[in-house]
Amino acid sequence: MQTVGKPGGFRDPKRYLWALGLIAPACALLPSQLVYRTGAEAFWWIGPVIVLIAIPVLDWIVGEDGNNPRDEDYEALSRDRYYRWCTYLFLPIQLIGLLLACAMWAGNDLDVVDKLGLATTVGFVSGIGINAAHELGHRVERAERLLSKIALAQSGYGHFFVEHNRGHHARVATPEDPASARMGESLWEFLPRSVIGGFRSAVQLERARLARKSLGWWNPGNQILQAWSMSVLLFGSLVLVFGPAIVPWLALQAVIGVMLLETVNYVEHYGLLRARKPNGRYERCSPRDSWNSDRLVTNIFLFHLQRHSDHHANPGRRYQTLRSTSESPQLPAGYATMILLAAVPPLWRAVMDPRVAAHYGGDLSLANVAPVKQRRLLARYRAPA
């Protein structure tokens, strides 16, 4: 793996590429201009076209990233505020796009199909916005954590701020984690389990935190209520300005955003299980417990989310310092491509089940297998004698 840097300093070859990550929120700004200039109404669907077609193709053409930051450059990279502004700027672009979309949903210039395309595009921006919130929510700075909650407002998924940081990271790659998919579990089985389980977990975690401080649920310090109130304020303001006609489109884009996030969750930990210690506790999360991909284009588009193994092993690292290691199990393609595979369960299983089995040397007793599929999968992938 090639490292970044040179004696007496460091050079990040992707430094100015990170600004391209702002193409994602700009997807909601582009449709009206592209349709106006070209007359092609297909541009209302530009969000899914970019994420599900253009990026997989570019991943295939451009290939692997292959650049890791050097250990001696870690502090300088972490302190460089340029990288933070790449995520900060995501929010205003995202919200301006939402405002423009609301104006078009409220008007009579678009037919239902065009409004549906625009809602889908805005929903993809909302889902990718949760990834920006994910990066900001891991930081200790109060301002960045506030920005994380604001980024989650568009999807109405504010409890993710609590569940991801205090739930998912503690239980990742275990059967107890609703956001860790089990081998044999289809995406469509996983989605309701993760959404409902994540909501319950967030409420339990925040209730317990408040109880330790002798505070009730309705205390202003409740982080879930803080995040949800931002969604109420955002949606309420938009409805007051643009009218109730935008309500179904706001709801649709939020659902699409959440589904995109949870599909990525499905990809990230499918079938992986942390080993147990002799005392029954799980071992500390290691790079072996998350699926990794190092395709350059998706790395830029998702702020290194694909280097998920290093993120879970070292959650305090900022996105620009994350590394790809040979210890991590590798996906056969970038996240954008894997999302398409996940939507077709037989295709997903044909690609991923053998990889899970190979990761554990054929011994699926070491994997996180769906209980109802255990007998069939254990029979199919027998441990070596």
Contact 331, 298 (CB under 8 A): no
pLDDT digits (tens, 9 = 90+) for 217-262: 999 999 999 999 999 999 999 999 999 999 999 999 999 999 999 9
Residue 168: both structure tokens together: 């998912």
Task: Give the lowest-confidence range in 10-14, 167-171, 322-326, 337-341.
Answer: 10-14
pLDDT digits (tens, 9 = 90+) for 314-365: 888 999 999 988 889 999 999 999 999 999 999 999 999 999 999 999 889 8
Residue written as token pair 């589904």:
259
Q: What's phi and psi for 282, nearest 5 deg?
A: -75, 145
At 192 the three-state DSSP class reads: helix
Asked if residue 1 has pLDDT above 70, the reply is: no
- Confidence band (pLDDT; 50, 70, 90) for 9? low
What pLDDT, on a 0 to 100 scale, did the predictor assign at position 381? 75
Residues 6 or more apart whose CB falls under 8 angstroms from that of 206 comprise 159, 162, 222, 223, 224
Q: Which amino acid is at 229?
A: S
Residues 6 or more apart whose CB falls under 8 angstroms from that of 188 comprise 345
Strand ranges (DSSP E) for 15-73? 67-69
At 370 the three-state DSSP class reads: coil
Which whole number is the average pLDDT over 309-317?
Answer: 89
pLDDT digits (tens, 9 = 90+) for 36-85: 778 788 889 999 999 999 999 999 999 999 888 888 889 999 999 999 99
The CA distance from 85 to 334, in Å, is 25
- Confidence band (pLDDT; 50, 70, 90) for 216? very high
What pLDDT, on a 0 to 100 scale, did the predictor assign at position 4? 44
User: Which of 226, 220, 223 lies closest to 206 in space, CA to CA?
Assistant: 223
- DSSP codes, 75-143: HHHHH-HHHHHHHHTHHHHHHHHHHHHHHHHHSSSS-HHHHHHHHHHHHHHHHHHHHHHHHHHT-S-HH
Interhelix angle 90-106/223-242, rounded to 10 degrees, is: 40
The CA distance from 349 to 187, in Å, is 10
Asked if residue 162 has pLDDT above 60, the reply is: yes
Asked if residue 385 has pLDDT above 50, the reply is: no
Asked if residue 7 has pLDDT above 80, the reply is: no
What pLDDT, on a 0 to 100 scale, did the predictor assign at position 228? 95
CB-based burial label for 246 (10 Å; 0-12, 13-18, 19+): buried
Interhelix angle 223-242/187-212, rounded to 10 degrees, is: 120
Which whole number is the average pLDDT over 116-136?
Answer: 90
Residues 6 or more apart whose CB falls under 8 angstroms from that of 92 comprise none
With b for 16 or more beta-carbon neighbours within 10 A and e for fewer, the 74-100 pattern comes to beebeebeebbebbbebbebbbebbeb
The CA distance from 116 to 113, in Å, is 5
